[in-house]
Amino acid sequence: MSSDTRTMRDRMLAGDLYIADDPELTENSLHAMDLTDAYNATSARNPTERRRILEELLGEIGDGVEIRPPLRVDYGTHIRIGARTFANYGLIALDVAPITIGEDVQIGTNVQLLTPTHPVDPQPRRDKWEAAEPIVIGDNVWLGSGAIVLPGVTIGDNTVVGAGSVVTKDLPADVVAAGNPARVIRTIQHR
């Protein structure tokens, strides 16, 4: 790994192993923490200021998005959220890799979207190497409270993920999935 001349940020964005406590990444993370602290402290009676902070924090945010504090992110800039999406209290979106959330998504309380991965081999893990894989949430998805979405997962449009489920693999569109690990329990019939 020592022959690679890319910055740790470049390695991270490419999905390759990188060291998270690199000074540039640390500063970016501290900036995101400052913004999330400000967001979480802003009154619900001040939607203009909340929106301004989210626009500075996130990579992209659609019209009509509501995120109820507290919110936690790694960087924020790697998160894209489509119009009319609602996230209830306690969203954790660790955006080491991109997190793309579609339009009209409903996110329950205490949902975790986790892109980071760590080596299974103990020595690189001890040396603080890590990587990440993107998460994609389709349009009109409902993530029940306490759901956890793991690195590299894509969830198709209109899918419902049951409360407390752990999504370890891609889910197709138009299904209900639940459990640990989440599995498809039925297909959604459109009316």
Tokens in use for 26?
Answer: 């640390």
**What local confidence, expressed as pLDDT, does residue 2 receive?**
63
pLDDT digits (tens, 9 = 90+) for 67-110: 999 999 999 999 999 999 999 999 999 999 999 999 999 999 99
Tokens in use for 58?
Answer: 């996130």
Q: How does strand 166-167 pair with strand 116-117?
A: unpaired
**What local confidence, expressed as pLDDT, does residue 128 receive?**
94
Query: Contact at 8 Å (CB) between 83 and 62?
Result: yes
Which of 12-21, 53-62, 135-144 has the weakest average pLDDT? 12-21
- For residue 176, the tally of other CB atoms under 10 A from its CB is 18
Q: pTM for the full model?
A: 0.95
For residue 32, is pLDDT > 80? yes
- Split at pLDDT 50, 70, 90, the class of 4 is confident
Cβ within 8 Å of residue 47, ≥6 positions away: none
CA 91, 96, 97: angle at the middle one, nearest 5?
A: 100
- Split at pLDDT 50, 70, 90, the class of 118 is very high
Q: Does residue 190 carry a catalytic annotation?
A: no
Pick the catalytic residue: 31, 78, 118, 190?
118
- Split at pLDDT 50, 70, 90, the class of 3 is confident
- For residue 68, the tally of other CB atoms under 10 A from its CB is 16
Give percent of the chain above pLDDT 90. 96
Kindly state the greatest CA–CA separation across the chain: 57
**What local confidence, expressed as pLDDT, does residue 190 receive?**
80
Q: CB burial class (10 A; 0-12, 13-18, 19+) of residue 141? A: buried
- For residue 135, the tally of other CB atoms under 10 A from its CB is 25
Cβ within 8 Å of residue 7, ≥6 positions away: 22, 24
